[in-house]
Chains A and B, each alone.
Chain A
Amino acid sequence: MNIEVTRSDSGAVDVVVGSELNIYGAQEFKDTMLEVMGGGAVSMRLDLSGISEMDTSGFQLLLTLARKCEADGVGLEIVHGPATLSVIDLFHARGMFGLGDRK
């Protein structure tokens, strides 16, 4: 898993995840997110469009992150890709991520 985090002075954080979002890198992803959130992020853009795979572990992390951001009032924008959408669609979970119906 490689995660690139770019913070701007305005409190907007840009996170790009390469390779995969799965159980192997799950702990690392979680730690990074905690760090970002703990560092007082105001909004986050999470770019997952380039990942090749997401598993249940990744899905859970994503969902928990989304809920946490909502609870904390942090604006979260997720850029989806085929890897994330295939799992989300399998789980009929578009609604959980504020996505409309499949086109």
Chain B
Amino acid sequence: MNEFEDGIQIFAVESGELLEDMESGLLALEDQPGDQEAINSLFRAVHTIKGSAGIVGLDDIERFSHTVEELLDKVREGEIGVTDPLIAVLLRCRDHMSELVKVTLSGQVAPAELLSREFGLVTELREFYTDAPGAGIGAAAGEVEAAPATAQMPGDEDDGSPRAGSDHWHISLRFGLDVMRNGMDPISFISYLDKVGRVTSLTTMTGGLPGSLDAMDPESCYLGFEISLESDLDKQSIEDVFEFVRDDCAIRILPPGARIKSYVGLIGSLPEDPLRLGEILVESGTLTRRELEEALREQGLEGGPEELQAPLGQILLKERVVHEPVIRAALDKQKESANARVKERKTIRVDTEKLDQLINMVGELVISGASIAQHSKRIQDKQLLQSVHMMTRLIEEIREGSMRVRMIPLHDTFNRFKRVLHDISHGLGKEIDLIVMGGDTEMDKNVIERIKDPLMHIVRNAGDHGIEPPEERRAAGKPAQGTVRLNAYQDTSDIVIEIADDGKGLDREALLNKAIAMGLAEEGIPYTDQDVYGFLFAPGFSTAETVTNISGRGVGMDVVRRNIEALRGTVEVESAFGAGTTIRIRLPLTLAIIEGFLVSIADSYYVIPMDTVVECLELTKRDRRESHGRNHVNLRGDILPYIRLGEMFGHAAGGDRKRKSEYIVVVRYAGHVTGLLVERLYGEIQAVIKDLGRVYRDIRGLSGATIMGDGTVALVLDVKTLVNVALEAEDARYTGRSGRSGT
């Protein structure tokens, strides 16, 4: 019973992914109806769902998938063209399949409306069969088909050579030595053939068996089979019977009526005596004796007419040497062609808890390694130092590698939004194009899980409220099709996700008025644009006049902002009334281990994230004199403001004037540059960032702490806030407004 449940679980996860693939495949096909690769992968997705459903006994799903698969097969063959109505129906079929999976997995009985919807869909699908085949759209003619899973037989090309009159499939199997060691038995595959058709003839090839009992390995498989199979299935389905044994069995399948050349090629590629093989083909009714003789004669045609008359028995035979190397070679070639076709990423499923534990361990390893490095410097043993150096490098690589494991690219997440916008645009009669950039940007899987919904909401808003209907757009002089642009990139230690639309933008007036009406704002105060847009995030705030079906219900921008802030991120809004709106989300990379630059002030150590550091300079007495008491320094002709970190973090001011030298670490964040004044510089360290705990979390300028090799704690600086502090201080100086102080 447990195994069964596991099977259902696996099916649930797999089918979820396959249904997603199906959706993106359909949307892609809408844009490019001639994309044969998309059609093929669409077919494969549905085909796999059907098969898996069958295995775990989910008959309803299997049955419906089969119906969809049949239609997709016709599309694949070019008999049905790819059109917008077809895509629309198929999208609904996909949704229905998703419903079916949900209902079936929850153990409920399918509700009546589900069944009637299915009936409706099936009827709609059927209509596509009666249409004339699409003229060339999606047709496979001339385009490359997915390469077969089994070795391509010579002679399958369209060369007009004679075909055999056979009405059955010929399947040739040569199992590799290891098939049973790998857990499979030919018996299962042979018996399964009865389920896909009628085996009219079967010959077990035992030539590979060693002659003596002691020479044979009881766990190796030496058998081969030549099989005639009557079946209505297509080649893919017959190939699929041997899906699990593809790596351990040389498989060749010839369809009914295959070219005679192909059979000759088959015989030539098998290790057994060609005569014997020829006899088998004749006895099984695959070839007539005459067909075989003629073909062989043609193949070996050389020289004079005497050869033409030579009967089969006198044809010179190539020596067949040992069985095994030939099989090995065939298997290798098979693997090659399979690999060449399948560009799928090889993945395995990993329990995220195990992964988190592993990453924690790596963190501990970094700390421990740093400690060892420290002690080894004391001991001054050259070989020890070398080994420690090597170890530190290896730890670094493990750290990077383990961080990367949890990062996944954003494009999968972004692609889901395509469907959302697609539905919105069709539902509201708008035309919306989604452009995705930076899909390769990677983020921690956990974080992605948590921003998916907020992002979805923002995208919906853009489509729902942002982009205007085509008439309105045209009247405003814009192209009828609106664009929503999703962009993601890394900016120093943050990941930035932007959702930009070229819709109607935010009406500052209306927003402010509403805010005043709601008591959130007061009349007469000169709010900045940012302030006004900020009201968007107030709970209960919604300027939509109509609450549409799609968005505006319950989940507000306030929830969005809360979710993002819970991840230590920020949301910014930029807008131009009439032109569009951009929402920018910044999320800190949750890499808990960073490259840092260690500095100190008095007895306290601070770590500055390495990727924010631009350069370091010494602040000489002369520099101090020249700045006239203001916190500036002349950096190659530019004025660089700096922050006295010592002051900011409450170190005693006294020692400053007497110090021989101080240093400024120049850091950059979001394009802004500022200096941090410190006393000592140490250099690069790897820092495992630990959270500061509730008490210290709100201190501006710190993003965590780290334990150094000798056990002392260093505080990790939050460069983003420090830069903001500097900017605010500048603002205050120039506008005379009192800016907030640095805490």
Contact = CB atoms under 8 A, between A and B. Distances in A.
Instruction: Judge: A and B partners, yes or no.
Output: yes
B223 A96 contact: no
A87 B187 contact: yes
A93 interface: yes
A30 B213 contact: yes
Given A57-B218, A96-B206, A64 B186 contact: no
Interface in A11-58: 23, 26-27, 29-30, 33-34, 37, 55-57
Interface string B203-239: 1101001111110101101110100000000000000
B191 interface: yes
Contacts of B210: 64
B223 A56 contact: yes
A68 B185 contact: no
Interface of B is mostly: loop
A26 B213 contact: no
A57 B183 CA distance: 12
A6 interface: no
Interface in A53-76: 55-57, 60-61, 63-65, 67-68, 71
B190 A60 contact: no
A92 B202 contact: yes
Interface residues of B, number: 24
A56 B224 CA distance: 11
A83 to B, nearest CB: 11
A60 B187 contact: no
A65 B218 contact: no
A33 B216 CA distance: 13
A19 B696 CA distance: 71
Nearest to B184: A56
Given A56-B186, A63-B206, A34 B213 contact: yes
A99 interface: no
Contact of B218 (A29, A87, A96): A29
A102 B203 CA distance: 16
Contacts of A34: 213-214
B218 A26 contact: yes
B180 interface: yes
B218 A60 contact: yes
Contact of B213 (A23, A37, A55, A56): A37
A56 B203 CA distance: 15
A40 to B, nearest CB: 15
A24 to B, nearest CB: 10
A45 to B, nearest CB: 18
Interface in B83-124: none
A64 B63 CA distance: 45
Nearest to A92: B202
Given A23-B219, A64-B216, A92-B202, A56 B180 contact: yes
Interface in B141-195: 180, 185-187, 190-191
B170 to A, nearest CB: 15
A91 B218 contact: no
Given A57-B180, A91-B202, 6 more contacts: A23-B180, A26-B218, A55-B180, A56-B186, A57-B221, A96-B206
5 contacts: A23-B185, A55-B180, A64-B209, A64-B213, A68-B212
